[in-house]
Structure 1
Amino acid sequence: MEDDRVMSFDDWCKLNGFSRSTGQRIIAAGHGPKFIQLSARRKGVSVAENRRWQAARLIETAA
């Protein structure tokens, strides 16, 4: 995916493997990526921002 492509909220949830309600909880708690307001009722996130968010969530395993 191109880094400047904007995904819808639903696409973002699907890409990251969680439900819409879980995505809403993540965003409401302030733990999600920065979203772009596309219109009065739609928001999206860029591929690059999603990658940064995922990278920030990486953890070390104790294996």
Structure 2
Amino acid sequence: MTLLTREGASRVYYDKKRSEGKGQATAMLCLTRRRIDVLHAMLRTGTPYRPPMPLTLVSRPIAA
């Protein structure tokens, strides 16, 4: 529930699932599964968590 109190990828994903017509419990289970998948990938590869960069920072060219 803490993930939903702040803006970010978790909140966006949860809101997307709710807009798809899923109930609160089902949307929370989808979010939990997504987080478990990330944790499993981190343990499997031995890499630390790196949050995704916002698209505005990635796709904006640097002005000369």
Please say which structure displays the higher CA radius of gyration. Answer: 2
Is the helix fraction higher in 1 or 2? 2
TM range (shorter): 0.3 to 0.5
TM-score of the superposition, structure 1-length normalised?
A: 0.34
